[in-house]
């Protein structure tokens, strides 16, 4: 299986369990690895035979900006399901970064990584 990766998609969302997170929002960063067979697209040099990663990026940003959820686990699942709606995408790895998580000690990042497939 081939891989198409998008790294560092940024969007402001209002996800979290604390009222402040819901009210003020924060930046979330998303990395994706889409698993698909790119041979038909390469052979024909045809965008319609692969995943349009620009469209995927816009959809993922819309999910992050969309309906708030409590957990980044839920957000990651919604992103994965959106990616799998694209014909040809057989698998997706989603990493959601929450660099401004409400943690009381110094830290660099909080992430959740999930892998989902059609099977």
- The CATH number assigned to the domain holding 23 equals 3.30.1130.10
Residues with a known catalytic role: 98
Query: What is the residue-level pLDDT of the chain in tens, covering all 119 positions?
Result: 999 999 999 999 999 999 999 999 999 999 999 999 999 999 999 999 999 999 999 999 999 999 999 999 999 999 999 999 999 999 999 999 999 999 999 999 999 999 999 97
Sign of the CA dihedral 76, 112, 88, 5? positive
In the chain, the largest separation of any two C-alpha atoms, in whole Å, equals: 53
User: What element of type H or E holds 94?
Assistant: strand 91-97
| Residue for token pair 């919604």 | 78
pLDDT at 119: 75
Based on the structure, what is the number of domains in the chain? 1
Quote the pLDDT of residue 88.
Answer: 94
Which residues form the domain of 46? Answer: 1-115
Residue 17 is predicted with a pLDDT of 96
Distance, in Å, from the CA atom of 30 to the CA atom of 28, rounded to the nearest integer, reads 7
């Amino acid at each position: 299986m081939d891989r198409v990766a998008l790294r560092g998609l940024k969007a402001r969302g209002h996800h979290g369990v604390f009222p402040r997170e819901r009210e003020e929002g924060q930046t979330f960063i998303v990395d994706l690895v889409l698993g698909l067979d790119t041979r038909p697209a390469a052979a024909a040099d045809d965008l319609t035979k692969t995943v349009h990663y620009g469209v995927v990026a816009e959809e993922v940003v819309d999910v992050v900006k969309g309906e708030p959820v409590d957990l980044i686990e839920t957000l990651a699942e919604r992103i994965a399901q959106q990616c799998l709606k694209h014909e040809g995408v057989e698998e997706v790895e989603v990493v959601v970064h929450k660099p401004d998580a409400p943690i009381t000690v110094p830290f660099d990042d909080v992430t959740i990584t999930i892998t989902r497939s059609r099977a």
